[in-house]
Amino acid sequence: MEKQGLKIVTIGGGSSYTPELMQGFIKRYETLPVREIWLVDIKEGEEKLNIVGALAQRMWDASPYEVKVHLTLNRREALKDADFVTTQFRVGLLNARIKDERIPLSYDQIGQETNGAGGIFKALRTIPVIQDIVRDMKELCPGAWLINFTNPSGMITESVIRNAGFEKCVGLCNGPITVMKEEPEMLGGKQEDYTWRFAGLNHFHYHRVWDRNGNEVTSEILRLMSEDDKTNMANVHDETYLSDQLEAMNCIPFSYHRYYYLYEEMLAHQKEDYRNGTTRAENVKKVEDELFELYKDPSLHEMPELLKKRGGAYYSDAACETIHNIYNNTGNLMVVNTRNRGAVSCLPYDSIVEVSSLINADGPSPLVWGDFEPSERGWLQIMKAMEECVINAALTGDYGMLVKAFQINPLIRHGHQAKALLDEMLVANEKYLPQFREKIIELKEKGIIIHDEKVRELCEQGL
């Protein structure tokens, strides 16, 4: 691409994360010259788009750089001749996330945004939409890169690259960046003192660590994790891993592994929150409401500290740094979701994995991890198989395939209860799952009801 200034388009521009994204671009302007930014949203998000868009323009106006922020509900208008497209949208807004968490918990099962039943339904709602976006990109900006931050990032990225055939796509997660910023504290060092190697799947990766002298310190971190894990994500209950398990591992698990390795303990935490009348989704909604009240202040021209409580810390570091590395052909090392190409030997060659990669103008080149030991290999193969079933179901509306995805997911109790949970979530998400329209009509005729009162109220309100 010619270096004449970049056109950046953000789908889901009305998100509360947008100020952090603007901050990331402002910080990198000298090496990443942005010409114009287009923030795109849907009619339901117009009010928030106008609020956050005004703040975004104030942030640029307070900087030394002249960049115009455009706001639109017309995605095609925005995409024309874009250089980079970032995605950070949530189909169904936060009300959909409330459903994803509360319905499984009403069945005494883990309710989580990107894992278990909730993660599956977030993918079902999102994959058809990202396919539409890619169709527009192929027509209007075929040379642009799609930088995806929409969760579940791995499955969304796989649907773009493998199913839509759009190769210029990179999936991101803030998790690895959080690990690399926080882990050195456990060892009494600084980030520049260590190197990391990551491999696995989005929200299900493992990693190893070396010091500046090339000595592996993975086992030392595993030992310290059993005492005080300083790298745990803010949105995950800080349940301590089994020390015997950590001692037997030769790679470090991610925060979200707690849902799988410590299912009953994590479920107990969630059920307590649920009994107290709230979930993580509802807490996030409150924080977001507070954020948008702050964003309305015409004197505010920087990202407020409160945004750090929203979750997704270091988001702009991942998104903006990826764009910087592609645009400047740096060859810098990042952790991204990209084609496996043999980097993780136990997973299909062309599947999407989350892996340490060198980022150049032609995109990510994954670094080879090699073989996992049996336990980790087994987990990854089950999770990848589950992801493939979910993507297939999202694209085709195949109910049987969706049943299989539920049956193989380790966070869902299987059998008839799994099917009852699945059917209730289908009915609750009717508005956003047109590919399952006939099945949902059939289920409603059978009398499927929504058991959770708050979710039932949302459905009655058409949300």
Residue ranges with strand state E in 180-313: 194-201, 204-211, 252-253
Cα–Cα dist 410/432, whole Å? 25
DSSP code, position 17: T
The token pair at 449 is 């009801």
**pLDDT number for residue 313:** 64
Pick the CATH number of 6-171 from 3.50.50.60, 3.20.20.140, 3.40.50.300, 3.40.50.720: 3.40.50.720
| pLDDT tens for the chain, residues 1 to 463 | 445 799 999 999 999 999 999 999 999 999 999 999 999 999 999 999 999 999 999 999 999 999 999 999 999 999 999 999 999 999 999 999 999 999 999 999 999 999 999 999 999 999 999 999 999 999 999 999 999 999 999 999 999 999 999 999 999 999 999 999 999 999 999 999 999 999 999 999 999 999 999 999 999 999 999 888 888 888 899 999 999 999 999 999 999 999 999 999 999 999 999 999 889 999 999 999 999 999 999 999 998 887 776 665 677 889 999 999 999 999 999 999 999 999 999 999 999 999 999 999 999 999 999 999 999 999 999 999 999 999 999 999 999 999 999 999 999 998 899 999 999 999 999 999 999 999 999 999 999 999 999 999 999 999 9
Phi, psi of 38 (to 5 degrees): -110, 125
What radius of gyration, in Å, describes the C-alpha atoms of the chain?
21
The answer to whether residues 128 and 91 touch, using CB atoms and an 8 Å cutoff, is: no
The answer to whether residues 368 and 346 touch, using CB atoms and an 8 Å cutoff, is: no
* Beta-carbon contacts of residue 248 (< 8 Å; ≥ 6 apart): none
**pLDDT number for residue 226:** 87
Distance of CA 119 to the CA centre of its chain: 10
Give the burial string for 181-202 (b: 16+ CB within 10 Å, else e). ebbbebeeeeeeebebbbbbbb
Report the predicted TM-score, pTM, of the whole model to 2 decimal places. Answer: 0.96
Cα–Cα dist 163/149, whole Å? 18
The answer to whether residues 22 and 88 touch, using CB atoms and an 8 Å cutoff, is: no
Phi, psi of 208 (to 5 degrees): -130, 160
Active site residues: 256
Whether omega for the bond prior to residue 128 falls within 30 degrees of 0, making it cis, is no
**pLDDT number for residue 311:** 61
Which residues make beta-bridge pairs with 34?
6
Instruction: Find, among 83, 78, 90, 105, the residue nearest to 153 by Cα.
Output: 90
Phi, psi of 293 (to 5 degrees): -65, -40
For the chain, percent helix, then strand, then coil, each to nearest 5? 50, 15, 35
DSSP code, position 92: T
Whether omega for the bond prior to residue 142 falls within 30 degrees of 0, making it cis, is no
Domain-wise residue ranges, the chain:
6-171
What number of CA atoms fall less than 13 Å from residue 347's CA on the CB side?
32
The full DSSP string for 158-199 is HIIIIIS---SEEE--SHHHHHHHHHHHHHT--GGGEEEEEE
The token pair at 132 is 């539409």
Cα–Cα dist 409/389, whole Å? 10
**pLDDT number for residue 228:** 82
Give the burial string for 418-449 (b: 16+ CB within 10 Å, else e). beebbbbbbbbbeebbebbeebbeebeeeeee
DSSP code, position 292: H
Which alpha helices (DSSP H) does 62-174 contain, by range? 75-79, 93-106, 116-140, 153-158
